[in-house]
Amino acid sequence: MRKIEWNNLGKSKRVGGFTLIEMVIVVLIIAMLTVLILPNAAKQKGIAEQKTDTAFIQTIQSQIDIVDTESERISFAALKENKHITNEQYNKLQDGYVLNADGTVAKKGDS
């Protein structure tokens, strides 16, 4: 909103800019939108991470099922040595996953 000032000659002169009330309203609207959007974004990130973990476990489990032999126990290192998984996958497995006795892969803490 513009404020009108009168000069010495009686002519009006418009001064540009926003009033304090207008600025406060804009800041409040931005704050409300932030409060609405951020929790939803964090929730979506968690859901995406769960889906990524599930897909990763299924991929590794598929590799184990392909290589699985009765004579020897499968390990993450054996999968890497035989080039069934990449170095990047191997490092991710070492950081947060376990190979259970029954040959299934699980995230640490979930097994």
pLDDT in tens, 29-73: 999 999 988 888 888 999 999 999 999 999 998 888 887 765 466
Question: pLDDT (tens digit, 9 = 90+) per residue, 26-41?
Answer: 999 999 999 988 888 8
Q: What angle do CA 55, 85, 103 make, to 5 degrees?
A: 70
Q: Is the pLDDT of residue 85 over 60?
A: yes
SS3 91: helix
pTM of the model: 0.61
pLDDT at 9: 59
Please tell me the total count of domains within the chain: 1
Residues of the domain holding 37: 3-107
